Amino acid sequence: MAHGNESAVETLLPSVLEIDEVQQSLNRAQVADRHLDERARNGGEGRREKEEEEVNDERKMGEEQQQKEECAISEDCDTDMELEDKEEAHNLPGRACYMDVCKMLQVVPASCFLRHLQDSELSMMHYGLGPKGTKALAVPLVTNTSILSLNLRDNWMEGMGGAAIAEMLKENCYITEVDLSENRLRDVGAKAIASMLQENSTLLRLNMSGNCLTDRSAEHLGPALTTNARLQHLDLSYNALGEQAGKILGDAVLENTGLRSLSLAWNCIRGRGAVMFANGLGGNIFLRTLDLSFNGFGKEGTVALAQALKENNILEELNISNNQIPPEGAVQLAVGLRINKTIKSLNISRNPIQIVGCNGILKSIQGNPDSAMEAIDFSDITVNQEFEDLYTAVKEIFPELAVKHGGRIDLFRKPKA
């Protein structure tokens, strides 16, 4: 109510000033007339004429003073209008909208957002926006045409904030990269993002790492990835995607025609889910980079991957480190690598494949003249002299091949006395 009174006062203030000026002029005229009457009663005609001249002079002076005051008021008005024009010139598009929404939602405006409204990249990691702060941010972004890359990592936006960003991306056709990692989106946020992916045609890169996504999230994301042909890079690492998610995402990968890189690292894809995902990978003809590290593919999943590598001649980088792969699984994978012509980088480190698995993979490269392999990572897996000799022989065929391992066994043994 106080704010309304202030507005009313500001609106009425010019009128009040004008009334005061008119009243002052009338008062001066009345005083002058009184003087004239008194002098007329007390003096002659000549004296009366002189007094009339004095009164006229006073009136003229009053009129001149009034004109000066009116000019001053006019100049002040012009100055105010110029200041308002300057303020409007400095008012960035979306600024007023953002401030209004923040006031309505009772959140503190983020100065970083106001400073970078016209930049092509907006990074607001670790700002603690929360659901309401994210919602306030999303409203002006709907019509923003400058920002192309949006990084909102670790802002605790939760499902409501994720839904607000998703709705914004349905309308905004300029943003191509979005990082929503570590925001506790959960299944509710994943559902909103999936709905957005079925409509958005400009987003190229999406990071949803560390958002507590489960198999239910995959139920929403699977159909979205099947229909979306624009998204090229997707990160779903550090979530809780399990066996059912492996099956759903495997079907999506089989049908997807846009993804170039996919990360499912640090999830719980194992057993039947791992097999079904690998089956989908075999039919994909677009994916170039795949990160499956820190899952549980084991022997069954690795055997399925070996079959996929026989069929897939597009994939170039494969990371299956920390997947509980035994020596038998590595040997089966080697069978697929003997046929594959596109894999350039293989990371199978930190798996219990032992020397047998390492030798099997190297021999498969040696026996494949069309192999494109450039780097193999056997980190934390110890090898022996036989492996070193084999590696030397393979280097003669593929001089650019680089291999990392956990060191030779005999180097860790104490020398005999």
Tens digit of each residue's pLDDT, the chain (417 residues): 434 333 332 333 333 334 344 344 445 545 555 554 555 455 545 555 555 566 566 666 666 665 655 544 444 433 333 434 334 434 567 899 999 999 999 999 999 999 999 999 999 999 999 999 999 999 999 999 999 999 999 999 999 999 999 999 999 999 999 999 999 999 999 999 999 999 999 999 999 999 999 999 999 999 999 999 999 999 999 999 999 999 999 999 999 999 999 999 999 999 999 999 999 999 999 999 999 999 999 999 999 999 999 999 999 999 999 999 999 999 999 999 999 999 999 999 999 999 999 999 999 999 999 999 999 999 999 999 999 999 999 999 999 999 999 988 765 455 555
Residue 169: its H or E element: helix 158-171
**Three-state SS for 15?**
helix
For residue 375, the cross-strand partners are 345, 402
C-alpha–C-alpha distance, residues 62 and 28, integer Å? 8
- H-state helical runs in 256-287: 271-283
Beta-sheet pairing, 261-263 with 233-235: parallel
Quote the radius of gyration of the chain (alpha carbons, Å). 39
Number of neighbours of residue 260 by Cβ within 10 angstroms: 16
- The predicted pLDDT at position 94 comes to 85
Neighbouring residues of 385: CB distance < 8 A, sequence distance ≥ 6:
408, 410
- The predicted pLDDT at position 417 comes to 53
- The predicted pLDDT at position 13 comes to 33
| Structure-token pair, residue 49 | 């004429």
Residue 297's alpha-carbon distances to 185, 306, 381, in angstroms, are: 26, 12, 18
Report the CATH architecture of 297-417: Alpha-Beta Horseshoe (3.80)
* CB-neighbour burial class of residue 324 (10 A; exposed 0-12, middle 13-18, buried 19+): middle
Q: In degrees, to the nearest 5, what angle opens at C-alpha 92 toward C-alphas 174 and 177?
A: 25
| Structure-token pair, residue 161 | 């904030």
| Structure-token pair, residue 73 | 């008021």
Q: Phi and psi dihedrals of 63, rounded to 5? A: -65, -40
Q: Does pTM top 0.85 for this prediction?
A: no
3-state secondary structure 322-333: CCCCCHHHHHHH
C-alpha–C-alpha distance, residues 403 and 354, integer Å? 15
